[in-house]
Amino acid sequence: MRNLKYLFAVIGAFSMTLTSCDVIEGPFTEDIVVGECLGKCKKILLEDYTGHMCGNCPKAAEKAAELKRIYGDQLVPIAVHAGFFAEPSGSYFTSDFRTIAGEEWDSHFGISTAGNPNGMVSRVGYPESNHILQYSQWAQKIEERLQTKPEAYIELDVNYNTTTRSLQISSKTEILQSISAPLSLNIVLTESGIIAYQKDYEADPEKISDYKHNHMVRKSLTGTWGTDLGQTNYTSGDLINNTFRVNLEEEWNTKNMSVVAFLSNTNTYEVIQAEEIHITE
Amino acid sequence: MKKVLYTLIFCAGPLFAQGIENGEISGNFQSNSQIYYEDADLGISSENLPDERFLTNSFANIIYATRNFSTGLRYEANQNSLLGFDKRYNGEGIAYRYAQFNKDGLDITVGNFYEQFGSGMILRAYEEKNLGYDNAFDGLRLKYSPFKGVYLKSLVGKQRLYFDNAEGIVRGFDGEISLNETFGALSEVKTQILIGGSVVSKFQKDMDPIYILPENVASWAGRFNLYHGKWIMGAEYVYKYNDPSATNNFIYKEGQALLANLSYSKKGFGFSLTGKRIDNMSFNSDRNLKGQEVSINYLPALTKQHAYTLATIYPYGTIANGEMGIQTELNYKVKKGTLLGGEYGMRILANFSNAYGIHKAQIDEDTALGESGTLGYTSDFFKVGDEKYFQEFSIELSRKINRKLKLVGSYINTHYNSTVIVGYDYHGMIKANILVFETQYKLKPKHSVRTEIQHLSTEQHEGNWAMGLIEYTVSPHYFFALQNLYNYGNETKKMHYPNISAGYTKGTTRFALGYGKQRQGIFCVGGVCREVPKSNGISLSITSSF
């Protein structure tokens, strides 16, 4: 009898396994609803770590673009050129799109040593080992993040002088939920539409001479880890204003440039809110 | 995790108090460390050295076992991980702990465990520390044998992902019957028959904004093995239901795999023939993860595993999205006393293997091959694809000349489709010829010297390589080795990679110290590539067991 009891238990496990299968007959895709940011909504930072010599990276850039179309303003993508595949190389890949901050982020978070392409969604999961995400993982992590309520909201305003190429950025950070941690505000400049060489293993020839690089981080105005907002405890309703000034370099096409701001928990590096504004309309 | 461990040890203890008194503790330890130096020749400056300068990968297994109970843990300390290993392994902690007990014939494991169903094509959890691979389950496993010759296994668990677990939950069942053991009438029959079957299902929540994904994905497998005298024959077929994933570009096609083998062996002669067809069989605990970190199954590469350094430069890895191939191996010993065999005979080992893509056709005119969010493609089961992925022929002759001298000669011809296999750069089909000549000479009792001369010639990739090795062993305690790899055919820069190493063994403890240069490599798994930087440094390896 005892034998039979165990046998039935095992058969039970077997039948549970057998029935655990969902077969999708079609349609296979969701009706895509473009995200609309109503009021002070959550905005997610998507970092795509890439390099012009990384032949698999264009796929990640395509995924970032696809997700941007879906999530609209709620997603702020940036492309960080860093690591081995971003180094100038040979006679074609002569551009150096690396930045000091980008290299230090890459090194600190161990992205390119884990491989390219890879990225992070609001730097969630650090320092556990699950902060590095392949581009196929981005959508799910973004969905998860969007389920949480915004803890802060950032408003940006820019004032650009086309003659002197000087840019003034004003930020207003509003705390929406109490936060017991120091916070850092990061301000970076990004540029899209940069035409330069890119390796793409799926292209023929692999060296694409007129590849369009988008959301490329050009400079961080707040060092590698941002500007400390001054407190270790914040309560709902706190407002912090900051101003930043920078002169834009001649080679940067300001028409395609944006200011990206992201607010991070200084202790955990987790980005709790992001924002983006174009420099020129 | 610690809480769980304490619970396992202290709560399980009283239950099995009688057995514990007679228990035994065993374990093993391994530590690999390296100090990294600048090297102008290799272009390594202080800037691109690892910040830590000193890196180490270490672990220890400690197991306590009695007749019906065992518990154990593995502590890992990678502070920080050696170059070439994923930095997500940085850190320390108990990465593996379990308790296993057997009561009334029911074998129960809670915690971590490794497992394999059949050939592993439906489920295999294993670890390969030197490759930085570990996909152990964390959960529960039951094994039971209700009748003689009938073996049942069931499990539920999550798989290890660095110092965490992957998201998916895996459920599995496997049953195997040895007909000759179960049925008395067959016990004396010369032909032994084993029949088995498995079902594996995984669960992962659908959070995707684009695709409607199956949250439960099942697969099943059937297999048999037949032993008749000197003959062995076996086959396994696996079917997997729709499993859109990052690896298959989110197509909804079913997956299939077939592995069949036939072998014969008698004294001085043996051959084996194995064939496989794999179609859309990547099966991951996390559908969004490319690569193999949390593979539920294992798809065998069916190629010869080489030990000679230059023969390992172009290793094949199974293309889970689709491949067909065969491997055949022949070994023959030329009798002693013949012209070829000489005084001691000569061993001949020949191997041929290949892998091609599978046939793929569009599902309809409007849908591109493998397009995401569709059934992907159709495939004729018996039709081989046009693209060759890999082919290798090798022959090895080894002959003992006299009581002191043994010679081994090898020739390997490899065709390696680098675009498909690693996709790291456009070198297309790399065709390489490798020659190896090895001598083993006993100078006097316990003293022996071994030499290797290797050459790899290819017109592609990094061009020709040469290698020389001399190793002096005083058994059982000491060894000393000197080797140099020379990439003299490299058009960019010809480079030497010398290494010197020495080791000391006492009982089950072994120390090895080395100094030298390592070549750079770019490794890609599932479309994610990482650079394993070239390096110059001192390495220390310690292994021990008790």
Give residue for tokens 């046009």: B386
Q: Which residues of A touch B142 (CB under 8 A)?
A: 9-10, 13
Assess contact for B259 and B274: CB atoms under 8 A: yes
Residues listed for chain B:
546
Residue A176 at interface with chain B, using a CB cutoff of 8 Å: no
pLDDT higher than 90, residue B404? yes
Separation CA B148–CA B182 (nearest Å): 5
DSSP 8-state secondary structure symbol assigned to residue B167: S
pLDDT higher than 60, residue A141? yes
pLDDT higher than 60, residue B526? no
Which pLDDT value is given to residue B10? 43
Paired tokens of B204: 């992962």
Identity at B335, one-letter amino acid code: K
* Residue B197 resides in a domain: yes
Identity at B222, one-letter amino acid code: G
Q: Which helix (H) or strand (E) holds A109?
A: helix A100-109
Residue A55 at interface with chain B, using a CB cutoff of 8 Å: yes
Residue A14 at interface with chain B, using a CB cutoff of 8 Å: yes
Answer yes or no: do B527 and A56 touch at CB < 8 A.
yes
Interface test with chain B among A16, A20, A200, by most B beta carbons within 10 Å? A20
- Condensed to tens digits (0 to 9), the pLDDT of residues A147-164 reads 889 999 999 999 999 999
Which pLDDT value is given to residue B3? 47
pLDDT higher than 80, residue B45? yes
- Condensed to tens digits (0 to 9), the pLDDT of residues B325-363 reads 999 999 999 999 898 888 899 999 999 999 999 999 999
Residue B380 at interface with chain A, using a CB cutoff of 8 Å: no
Which pLDDT value is given to residue B185? 87
What average pLDDT does range A209-222 have in this prediction?
A: 97
- Condensed to tens digits (0 to 9), the pLDDT of residues B63-75 reads 999 989 999 999 9
CA distance B86 to chain A (A): 5
Separation CA B67–CA B89 (nearest Å): 34
Neighbouring C-beta atoms of residue B268, cutoff 10 Å: 12
Which pLDDT value is given to residue A20? 74
Q: Which helix (H) or strand (E) holds B5?
A: helix B2-15
Q: Which residues of B touch A72 (CB under 8 A)?
A: none
Q: Cis peptide before B476, with omega less than 30 degrees from 0? A: yes
Domain range holding B121?
114-300
Compare CB distances from A10 to B152, B200, B215 and report the shortest one's residue. B152
Answer yes or no: do A114 and B419 touch at CB < 8 A.
no
Question: Which ranges in B459-537 belong to alpha helices (H)?
Answer: none
Residue A89 at interface with chain B, using a CB cutoff of 8 Å: no
Assess contact for B318 and B300: CB atoms under 8 A: yes
Nearest CA in chain B to A11: B173
Nearest CA in chain B to A2: B104
CA distance A84 to chain B (A): 7
Identity at B407, one-letter amino acid code: L
- Say whether B20 sits in a helix, a strand or coil: helix
* Residue B262 resides in a domain: yes
Answer yes or no: do A10 and B87 touch at CB < 8 A.
no
Q: What strands, in cross-sheet order, belong to the sheet with A166-175?
A: A152-161, A166-175, A239-247
Paired tokens of A138: 């981005």
Q: Which residues of A touch B528 (CB under 8 A)?
A: 56, 114-118, 134
pLDDT higher than 90, residue B8? no
- Category of A215 on φ-ψ map: left (φ > 0), alpha (ψ -120 to 50) or beta: left
For the residues of A187-217, what is the DSSP string, one character each?
A: EEEEE--EEEEEE-TTSSSSEEEEEEE-SEE
Q: What band does A34 get if pLDDT is binned at 50, 70 and 90? A: low
Which pLDDT value is given to residue B133? 84
Answer yes or no: do A134 and B531 touch at CB < 8 A.
no
What average pLDDT does range B35-46 have in this prediction?
A: 90
- Condensed to tens digits (0 to 9), the pLDDT of residues A160-192 reads 999 999 999 999 999 999 999 999 999 999 999
Interface test with chain B among A1, A11, A14, by most B beta carbons within 10 Å? A14
In B14-33, the residues whose Cβ lies within 8 Å of chain A are none
Q: Which residues of B touch A100 (CB under 8 A)?
A: none
Which pLDDT value is given to residue B21? 62
pLDDT higher than 60, residue A100? yes
Domain covering A35-278 assigned CATH 3.30.70.20 in the classification: no
pLDDT higher than 90, residue B396? yes
How many angstroms from the chain centroid is the CA of residue B254?
Answer: 26
Answer yes or no: do B171 and A140 touch at CB < 8 A.
no
Contacts of B16 by beta carbon, 8 Å cutoff, 6+ apart: B66, B68, B69, B101
Its ipTM equals 0.77
- Condensed to tens digits (0 to 9), the pLDDT of residues B499-511 reads 999 999 999 999 9
Compare CB distances from B210 to A14, A30, A206 and report the shortest one's residue. A30
Assess contact for A158 and A279: CB atoms under 8 A: yes
Paired tokens of B330: 């022949």
DSSP 8-state secondary structure symbol assigned to residue A132: -
Inter-chain Cβ pairs, chain A and chain B, closer than 8 A: 174
Q: Which residues of A touch B164 (CB under 8 A)?
A: 128-130
- Average pLDDT of chain B, as a whole number: 90
What average pLDDT does range B193-197 have in this prediction?
A: 96
Inter-CA distances, B488 with A53, B481, B485, Å: 25, 22, 9
Separation CA A120–CA A130 (nearest Å): 9
Which pLDDT value is given to residue A13? 64
For the residues of A182-195, what is the DSSP string, one character each?
A: -EEEEEEEEE--EE
Share of chain B above pLDDT 70, in %: 94
DSSP 8-state secondary structure symbol assigned to residue A73: G
- Condensed to tens digits (0 to 9), the pLDDT of residues A224-265 reads 999 999 999 999 999 999 999 999 999 999 999 999 999 999
pLDDT higher than 90, residue A204? no
Share of chain A above pLDDT 90, in %: 72
Which pLDDT value is given to residue B18? 46
Strands (E), A39-151: 44-50, 75-81, 118-121
Q: Which residues of B touch A4 (CB under 8 A)?
A: 146
How many angstroms from the chain centroid is the CA of residue B195?
Answer: 25
pLDDT higher than 70, residue B100? yes
Paired tokens of A264: 């991070």
What average pLDDT does range A47-57 have in this prediction?
A: 95
Phi, psi of A255 (to 5 degrees): -60, -25
Residues listed for chain A:
281
Separation CA B51–CA B96 (nearest Å): 29
What average pLDDT does range B133-162 have in this prediction?
A: 94
What average pLDDT does range B108-116 have in this prediction?
A: 97
Contacts of B362 by beta carbon, 8 Å cutoff, 6+ apart: B368, B369, B377, B378
Share of chain A above pLDDT 70, in %: 92
Separation CA B292–CA B283 (nearest Å): 9
Q: What band does B457 get if pLDDT is binned at 50, 70 and 90? A: very high
Helices A135-146 and A57-71: angle between axes, nearest 10 degrees: 20
CA distance A258 to chain B (A): 26
Q: Which residues of A touch B533 (CB under 8 A)?
A: 84
Which pLDDT value is given to residue B19? 47
Assess contact for A76 and A45: CB atoms under 8 A: yes
Q: Cis peptide before B315, with omega less than 30 degrees from 0? A: no
Which pLDDT value is given to residue B423? 67
Residue A16 at interface with chain B, using a CB cutoff of 8 Å: yes
Give residue for tokens 């994904």: B213
- Average pLDDT of chain A, as a whole number: 91
* Residue B448 resides in a domain: no
* Residue B380 resides in a domain: no
Residue B283 at interface with chain A, using a CB cutoff of 8 Å: no
What average pLDDT does range B235-247 have in this prediction?
A: 95
Nearest CA in chain B to A32: B210
Quick one: which of A143, A130, A48, A35 has its CA closest to A97? Answer: A48
Paired tokens of B454: 């290797």
Q: How many domains does chain B have?
A: 1
Separation CA A126–CA A139 (nearest Å): 18
Inter-CA distances, B324 with B174, B358, B375, Å: 26, 6, 21
Answer yes or no: do A56 and B528 touch at CB < 8 A.
yes
Separation CA B37–CA B51 (nearest Å): 11
